[in-house]
Amino acid sequence: MINYLLIGFNQSSQAISIFLGGIVLILFVYVGYSDANPSFVFEWLISTLGYSFLIITAFLTFMAIISIININNCENRRRKFWFETGLQVSNLISTLALTYTLLGISLGIGELSSSKLDIDTINQTISKLTQQFSMAFMTSVIGLPLSGLLRSILIIIYEHFTVHSLKTSPKLLSK
């Protein structure tokens, strides 16, 4: 029992390191490219995407990273389980992105339909509408490539270990 807890803690710490390291690298590249302040990036993410999207996406990304680590570290019979788990989590990220896209469009249309449109309020209505549409499209712009990247990594690593295990295990080749 203690052995499983230690293994789980080790995998979680590896996943947190990879996750936070990825965030730092992305921030480094973005700040170097745009000369923006890193706090501006976090403020923009929260104001555009919202806490719920960021928290759920971070959790699902973390779970996909744990699946990748487990594909790398487990025995052959458990590798397929972690591969399928990682694929499902990656698919959930794309589903979440598309759901938030539709939510943002719906909120924008709802804002438009409930607003009184006249010369005095048109600027405020358009501002609220563009904020909702910005959230809608940025969730897809971030979520869909992230999902695709995680799926690609999972497939490549899984295939690498599947081929490697076939080469090292002659019994599997004869089946």
Residues with Cβ < 8 Å from 146, sequence gap 6 or more?
57, 61, 93, 97
Q: Is residue 5 in a domain? A: no
* Domain of residue 138, residue span: 49-174
Q: Is residue 139 in a domain? A: yes
User: How far apart are alpha carbons 74 and 86 in whole angstroms?
Assistant: 14
Q: Is residue 18 in a domain? A: no
Tally of domains within the chain = 1
pTM over 0.75: yes
Q: Is residue 4 in a domain? A: no
Buried/exposed code over 47-56 (b: 16+ C-beta within 10 A; e: otherwise): ebbeeebbeb
pLDDT, one tens digit per residue, over 21-64 is: 999 998 899 888 888 888 888 888 898 888 999 999 999 999 99
User: How far apart are alpha carbons 24 and 28 in whole angstroms?
Assistant: 6
Q: Is residue 58 in a domain? A: yes
pLDDT, one tens digit per residue, over 84-132 is: 999 999 999 999 999 999 988 888 888 777 777 777 777 877 777 787 7
